Amino acid sequence: MVAGELDINDILKLVPHRYPFLLVDRVVECDGESHIVTFKNVTYNEPFFPGHFPQTPVMPGVLILEALAQT
């Protein structure tokens, strides 16, 4: 694994996932072995919001788990 910070272009080179199932936007910390901190910017424009509790939008739990797996 690459250590340091990664932007979306670096991430796209490392993982096969693409929109809408790429759930990591940025890596802010990575030691290359056992520690990583990532971000996923979630907006109201996400394709899952209209059908998942439309009155109170929430990111589906299975997608949260997938984001953790991609980390």
Structure confidence by residue, pLDDT tens digits, 16-70: 999 999 999 999 999 988 999 999 999 999 999 999 998 999 999 999 999 999 9
pLDDT at res. 33: 86
The answer, yes or no, to whether residue 3 has pLDDT greater than 90, is: no
pLDDT at res. 15: 93
- Give how far Cα 3 sits from Cα of 12, 35, 45, 51, 60, Å: 16, 10, 31, 38, 30
Among the four given CATH numbers 2.60.40.1930, 3.20.10.10, 3.10.129.10, 3.40.50.970, the one describing domain 8-70: 3.10.129.10
Contacts of 56 (CB under 8 A, 6+ apart): none
Q: pTM for the whole thing?
A: 0.81
Q: Give me the active site residues, please.
A: 52
Query: Rounded distance, CA 30 to CA 20, Å?
Result: 24
pLDDT at res. 1: 58
